[in-house]
Structure 1
Amino acid sequence: REDPSDAIVLKSGLHLDKPLDILFDTKAGTIGTSSLRRIAQLKQLNPEIKIQDVRGNLNTRLAKLDDKNGDYSALILASAGLKRSDFNGRISHQLRDNWYYAVGQGALAIETRVGDTFTLDLLKPLIDLKTTYECLAERTFMQQLEGGCSVPIGVHTSWNNDNQSLLTLEGIVLSLDGRTKVQNKMTIDLNERLVNANIDDSSCPFNYTDIAINQMSDHIVVNKLRNSAILGYELAQSLTELGAKRILDAIKRQ
């Protein structure tokens, strides 16, 4: 998994000592993004911010940004896409503190046919379990909230530096205007034997989030997969209790 953060990319030739300030200065220009998650977070930071939709692949978006006659002063883009396309130098500021990225952002996956165990066995050496645990927790969280790319749901996953079995998942649900939000975070020790009636071996991971991993014979891995799903499930439940479903239902009615 590449860096999952979002990044501010300033217009070519625009130099700011503190690029983050462009999100708070209403006179600084227009910020380009098509993501409802990013839009909601930007409006939460600055209700008066000017935001304009921007479409196309990465090269097209950067060309629109750098157009001298264009409206954009900056774009919000995924750091992973910029780095993988060798545009590291265009990253003006990475959004990390109090900023939530998309579920699974930065992770690479290979899609296979359902039940194709032969192909899964061939891919087994490529599996990065740390990324799998993160994405399973994130996707379970999103699935329980019945969310997707069309709603402002964000996550942030981290590991305890001293104990790589402690996985923390932070989640947020926002209204489209950023004025209403619910957020929470939870930490689980993946090595523990946790119990949740809604997460069992048959639903984790194959049927729960469509993440398939052919190491189901490894009981330690199975336990960690189950715990990752429990983390996502329980965080979603906590946000539901805080009012996440009301926010999402209101968005669906709009």
Structure 2
Amino acid sequence: MGPETLHIGGRKSKLAVIQSNHVLKLIEEKYPDYDCKVFTLQTLGDQIQFKPLYSFGGKALWTKELEDHLYHDDPSKKLDLIVHSLKDMPTLLPEGFELGGITKRVDPTDCLVMPFYSAYKSLDDLPNGGIVGTSSVRRSAQLKRKYPHLKFESVRGNIQTRLQKLDDPKSPYQCIILASAGLMRMGLENRITQRFHSDTMYHAVGQGALGIEIRKGDAKMMKILDEICDLNATVCCLSERALMRTLEGGCSVPIGVESKYNEETKKLLLKAIVVDVEGTEAVEDEIEMLIENVKEDSMACGKILAERMIADGAKKILDEINLERIK
């Protein structure tokens, strides 16, 4: 018998393929007896490039087609695991699926990208009415608080498409906002003009990390993933996801986070913000907690902070945003 094959699924975009191959390498380094193969699929979220995400559905747009293959009847098409950008994974997965693990996190920040020919170096440099390209309500809502004189316009497409739109001399955009991690994974770190931290903008839940989805209770895959996953990323991201789940927020609502875990002291610092779409109202808070049981304590930390923020008015802000979407 030859080596056993593991089928790894992911989206078809260039970045997603890089991410799937990264997980393939992690597994083959720890388990050289396995032969890993990457299977790619174009999801609905990849196909609809002309509308902002919040206007036509949630995170399942990136995951549903791939999930179907975890239980595929045809052994040649059946997946053993799916690699997601963790920020695209719903916090509640459908019955029969689970988040099997989280790999080492790349820089979770958002960043500013200016055109090649731009003389500007930061958002502070932009003139009144300058157009910032972003399709993220979380990003635009937070930046409106600090930069009410700027305009925010939707820009969709993969990273290369967005950069091409930005660099076009006829581009309406003075700059665009992207995740630092995506540029770093694609070898485009030189395009980062400025990184944002919580004093300007909190990043998305799970940003910069890869989440690996498996069939619920798949002991063999759990054993493999235990070897390739990262403690620090797991603690931070489980707490962030628990916060979002408690706030009942999806990818289309302005919830931002920042987390730091000290493995020596076992202390986790979690900060978060909920902002209304116009950036006029916000609830911001933070919590520090000792993490003794990784899964339980990390999730409890996120839940406690979310409940505190709800008591301070965060739920009211989110409910009003959802009502605006329905109108």
Shift of 1:113: 1.1
Q: Distance in 1 between matches of 2:154 and 2:237?
A: 28
Deviation track 1:27-69 (CA, whole Å, cap 9, x = no partner) reads: 5x31100000001011111222111100000000000000101
The correspondence for 1:125, drawn from 227, 235, 238, is 227
Q: Distance in 2 between matches of 1:122 and 1:246?
A: 42
SS of residue in 1 equivalent to 2:213: coil
SS of residue in 2 equivalent to 1:109: strand
Q: Distance in 2 between matches of 1:113 and 1:22?
A: 49
The correspondence for 2:304, drawn from 214, 234, 237, is 234
Task: Work out whether 1:155 is the aligned partner of 2:257.
Answer: yes
What TM-score results when the alignment is normalised by the length of structure 1?
0.83
Q: 1:145–1:97: structure 2 CA closer, same or farther, 3 Å change rule?
A: closer
Q: Distance in 1 between matches of 2:265 and 2:196?
A: 24
SS of residue in 1 equivalent to 2:280: coil
Q: 2:193 maps to which residue?
A: 92
The correspondence for 1:64, drawn from 162, 165, 173, is 165
Q: 2:122 maps to which residue?
A: 19
SS of residue in 1 equivalent to 2:270: strand
The correspondence for 2:294, drawn from 210, 224, 228, is 224
Q: CA RMSD in A?
A: 1.4
Q: Distance in 2 between matches of 1:110 and 1:39?
A: 29
Q: Distance in 1 between matches of 2:240 and 2:198?
A: 18
Contact 2:235–2:261 (CA<8 Å) still a contact in 1? no
Unaligned runs of 5+ in 2: 1-104
Task: Work out whether 1:183 is the aligned partner of 2:287.
Answer: no
What TM-score results when the alignment is normalised by the length of structure 2?
0.65
Contact 2:232–2:261 (CA<8 Å) still a contact in 1? no
Report percent identity of matched pairs. 44
Amino acid at match of 2:123: L
Q: Distance in 2 between matches of 1:9 and 1:113?
A: 38
Q: 1:107–1:167: structure 2 CA closer, same or farther, 3 Å change rule?
A: same
Q: Distance in 2 between matches of 1:127 and 1:49?
A: 40
Shift of 1:119: 1.4
Deviation track 1:205-239 (CA, whole Å, cap 9, x = no partner) reads: xxxxxxxxxxxxxxxxxx12211111101000010
Amino acid at match of 2:110: D
Q: Give the number of the structure whose residues are more often strand, by fraction.
A: 2
SS of residue in 1 equivalent to 2:108: coil
Shift of 1:97: 4.2
Amino acid at match of 1:13: Y
Shift of 1:123: 2.0
Q: Distance in 2 between matches of 1:122 and 1:14?
A: 47
Amino acid at match of 1:11: P
Deviation track 1:107-150 (CA, whole Å, cap 9, x = no partner) reads: 01222111111111122210111111111100000000000111
Q: Distance in 2 between matches of 1:47 and 1:19?
A: 15
Deviation track 1:143-175 (CA, whole Å, cap 9, x = no partner) reads: 0000011110000001359x4411000011000
Q: Distance in 2 between matches of 1:145 and 1:61?
A: 31
Contact 2:267–2:290 (CA<8 Å) still a contact in 1? yes
Unaligned runs of 5+ in 1: 192-222
Provide the aligned length of Structure 1 versus Structure 2: 219
